[in-house]
Chain A
Amino acid sequence: MKTIQSLDEILERRIVVCVGTGGVGKTTLAAALSVEAARRGRRALVVTIDPAKRLAGALGLNALEAEPQALPDSTLIDLGIETKQRLFAMMLDTQATFDGLVRKLAPAPEAQKRIFENPIYRHVSRNLAGSGEYAAMEKVFELLESTEFDLIVLDTPPAQNAVDFLDAPIRLLEFIESRLVRGLVQPALAAGRKGFRWFEGPTRRMLDLLERLIGVGFLRDLSDFLLAFESLSEGFADRAKQVRETLLGPDSAFLLVTGASRQTVQNAESFLDHLESQALPLAGLLINRMRLWPAGIAADSFKPGGDATDTPDLLTLRQAFERSHPEPQAAALAESARAVANQYNGWVNQDQENIEPLRKRAQDRGLFVRCLAERAGDVHDALGLRALSEELFDASAQDCHQ
């Protein structure tokens, strides 16, 4: 497979998956990627997780919905996208996705009703950790199946590691295909003829054990739930397999997003371990919220530790201020400027130090690395999103070296 050298090439793929821990700006960056894709004439869809109201606003929408919505023309103009292009946005909604799946695969109203009313279905689809990841996989399949979009940019649920999201299809397959699940479903299918005795040996002992531990009522509900889902499970497994194949294939690219604090960088390294162990097509690393000096200024021209106690510079500044300010005030301004510069430089140095091991590791593996400066505020309108998108794809931008 061709190695991706830059962010530009990522936009050529069919699906871009942004992974990383929570709080690193994945959602906004996913939106910024889709904006650039649309600007280049691709029909792009951004699928987000966070119901950030401001991001919806920046996309010209009141709220992100569970189905793709086209951005209004006025927003496209603000985003620098020609109005003949189309850009879509949606939010993953676990419950809506599950319900949609049931409706699609169990067309008979009675069957649907039975599933919707099952207490286990209600909990699984709404509440339980992991159901979001299952639903994400389902939605991705549906979107990949449609030819409406050239590029899907997918934000992923915040997780401590990549495992949750990426392993969801495997876990789902194992669950559906497990002998125990079959053991629960089959007797119900056999309509009381043989009950659990249908199974012999270890599985049968396991079912006895479950019943003893959990109680009969729960097992009956579970069996009902699985029975109701039986008709779905065949398709379920196929789709999970296909999604995984697509994600592993040449049409997809993973983008690891991280911040620059020591803990987020450590988490990103764990992600990297996992992505590598799974042989997932990781294309690049986005390091967001870096404190940087403008291009051309090297943090290490300050003394190590970020303490620029250079008296000639202080004198130069003071003399410059004295042209417009009385002497004591000029001295105070020069002192203040130096204090702020020192503080800021300390942060810049710290961020550089934090990201260095990750940056080096990524570059050694031939991944592209892109650093983005911390912004003063959140992106809250289309112009802000456009600025971010342009910064992201600014060819003249420095890389992460200071």
Chain B
Amino acid sequence: MTAEPSSFFTRRIIVVTGKGGTGKTTVSATLGLAAAHHGLSTLLVEVGAFEQLPRLITGRAEEPVGYRGRLLQPGIQAIRIEPFAALAEYLGLQIGSRRLVAQALRNRSLRQLLRGAPGWRELITLGKIWQLEQMEGPNGNPLYDLIIVDAPATGHGLTFLDIPHVARSAVQSGPLARNARRVEELIRDPKRTQILPVSLAEELPAQETGELVQRLRHDLGLVPDQVIVNAVAPPLPCPDPAELEQSLRRLPGDLPLTQLPQPESLADAVAHTSARHRLNQAYLIEIAERTGLPLVVLPLLDHGVNGPVELEALRPALIESGQGPGIVPPREPAS
């Protein structure tokens, strides 16, 4: 399987997941920009307590988009699925009386129960995503061509994806079972949904990404098209780092330098940068071996990812990776 550049845009839903701190939000935002650029009506979905996507997309402080959502720029809508709001909407549709639901959700007992009860937040969030996928525009076409979900970190992320199944095995019949089944079918349908793991080329993320892909395969029967490996250190801006380091270490330590550090420190910087690069390269291979999937490599940007300028810089690496040098071909999974 090759990751064609368009493979991101052939499904309705991309669930971006991975270990915490790997850059899921950056990848979600970059994909959102790319999809809009591609002419797709795109919805970005956040599920955490803090909104990060709007600020990344526009590059300035943004009022929360909240559960109602807001158009950030042409082609890019953003929403944060707040579980209580989603529950109120869902119950309103089920019961047919928003007044009764509003009254019920003000009930202190029920709120206490819901605050403590596990699982329902994930289920209602996925239910809302299902509903968004079903929504139609005025011409009868889907309202959103592509829905990008910035999912919770891996541990919780897999729970997130598996929750409809859990709910369905706990509840055999009735409206909840019916709705959970619909959501489960959507999540497990490779024609409609793609799970996109994001990793770093470091030890723990590599290990966790390997486990995530295995569990997706075995527990959910899902095979991602590719793995995004984020923030990979670039090669050093010099032809032979080892030689440079050695040559620097042979220089006297008291050169009359005005701004640059002394050779010893320069040698340390070369050694460190070079070691980071080598480490990243080694873990790229490890991720490829552990997952057996093609990798899409995003470069470490000098000044971090702060807004649309950096997202634009990442976009080609992400989208045109199908033919570019950024991709590592698939390997046989390690036994």
Contacts and interface: CB of A to CB of B under 8 A. Distances in A.
Interface of A: 21-24, 50, 52-54, 119-120, 123-124, 127-132, 157-158, 160-161, 163, 171-172, 174-181, 183, 202-203, 205-206, 209, 212-218, 221, 259, 261-264, 266-267, 270, 293-294, 297, 301-303, 308, 310, 312-313, 316-317, 320-321, 324-325, 332-333, 335-341, 343-344, 346-347, 350, 354, 374, 376-378, 380
Contacts of A129: 118-119, 121-122, 152, 156, 159-160
A80 B261 CA distance: 33
B16 to A, nearest CB: 14
Contacts of A131: 118
Nearest to A376: B275
Interface of B: 19-23, 25-26, 48-50, 52, 91, 94-95, 104, 107, 109-110, 112-113, 115-119, 121-122, 152-153, 155-156, 159-160, 162-163, 166, 169-177, 200, 202-205, 207, 236-239, 241, 243-244, 247-248, 250-252, 255-261, 263-266, 268-273, 275-276, 279, 302-306
B20 A22 contact: yes
B260 A376 contact: no
Contacts of A215: 171-177
| Minimum-distance CB pairs A-B, first 7 | A22-B20, A23-B21, A175-B116, A215-B174, A336-B238, A376-B275, A128-B118
Given A336-B238, A340-B270, A213 B251 contact: no
A294 B261 CA distance: 9
Contacts of B255: 316-317, 320
A377 B283 CA distance: 11
B238 A313 contact: no
Contact of A341 (B175, B251, B269, B304): B269
Contacts of B94: 213
Contacts of A183: 109
Contacts of B305: 262-263
Contacts of A205: 104
Nearest to B244: A336
Contacts of A24: 21
The main secondary structure of chain A at its interface with chain B is helix
A217 B172 contact: yes
Contacts of B21: 21-24, 158, 259, 264
Contacts of B113: 175, 178, 180-181
A374 B272 CA distance: 9
Which of B117, B200, B260 has the largest count of A CB atoms less than 10 A from its CB? B260
A221 B202 CA distance: 43
Given A179-B109, A209-B104, A217-B173, A324 B247 contact: yes
A346 B238 CA distance: 16
B82 to A, nearest CB: 14
B20 A337 contact: no
A50 B204 contact: yes
B247 A376 contact: no
A165 B176 CA distance: 29
Contact of A350 (B156, B200, B304): B304
Given A178-B112, A340-B266, A343-B302, A263 B118 contact: no
Nearest to B171: A218
A224 B186 CA distance: 32
A160 B50 contact: yes
Given A217-B171, A310-B259, A23 B269 contact: no
Given A23-B200, A172-B116, A263-B52, A340 B244 contact: yes
15 contacts: A22-B19, A22-B20, A129-B122, A131-B118, A158-B20, A161-B49, A213-B91, A214-B171, A218-B170, A259-B21, A263-B305, A297-B261, A313-B258, A340-B238, A346-B303
